[in-house]
Amino acid sequence: MWTLYSRGLLACLFVVLVWAPAPASADMERLQPFFGHFVGHSLDTEGEGVSKRDFDVTIEATDNNGFQVSWRTFIYRNNGDVKKKDFSIEFRPTDRSGIYTSAEKTDMFGARIPSDPMKGDAYTWAVVGDQRLTVYGFAVTDDGGYEMQVYHRTLTDFGMNLEFSRQREDGVFRRISGTLRRVID
């Protein structure tokens, strides 16, 4: 027979489970405005050998309460050549709100896992804030130093601004900023 005490505990448990927001859903609410397709170009470049670029970025939800960022960059060289680079990284939630780990590689069992910077791969993670999604990439260079790449994507009324920096131990040696418009499918 249910006592008043056990009914009260059951009611409290129900309220906690139903009404308490889950961290993953709160993070998904912050991610939602970033989902979509964006296209744009560089506005300002700084660093040796840096040239104008066009960008194409898609950010979408994944089945695991995470998201995927896929981007294509067209680099216009001074000699007229155009170089195209494609990237796609899946991010999964961590135990820390707003911080996501990458799942860039597939292990021998088919599971998605982060890269290993000690093997020359870049380790990548993402942080989502109210209006900014930042992707960090860290790699250990062949000489034991490091390289860090940072992509700040900040939402605007029409899309997003991009601030990219690439740095080594001796400081930032490449900076690119740009603007992207949201493409409505």
Site of tokens 């998605």: 112
pLDDT at residue 38 is higher than 80: yes
In a domain, 4, yes or no: no
Quote the pTM value: 0.79
Per-residue pLDDT reduced to its tens digit, 127-136: 999 899 999 9
Domain ranges, residue 41: 23-183
In a domain, 14, yes or no: no
**Residue 106 backbone dihedrals phi, psi, to 5 degrees:** -115, 130
Cβ proximity of 181 and 159 under 8 Å: yes
3-state secondary structure of 171: strand
Residue 24: band (very low, low, confident or very high) from pLDDT cuts 50, 70, 90: low
How many whole angstroms separate alpha carbon 60 and alpha carbon 33?
10
Number of domains in the chain: 1
CATH of the domain at 108: 2.40.128.20
In a domain, 129, yes or no: yes
How many whole angstroms separate alpha carbon 180 and alpha carbon 57?
8
In a domain, 40, yes or no: yes
In a domain, 10, yes or no: no
How many whole angstroms separate alpha carbon 43 and alpha carbon 162?
10
Residue 15: band (very low, low, confident or very high) from pLDDT cuts 50, 70, 90: very low
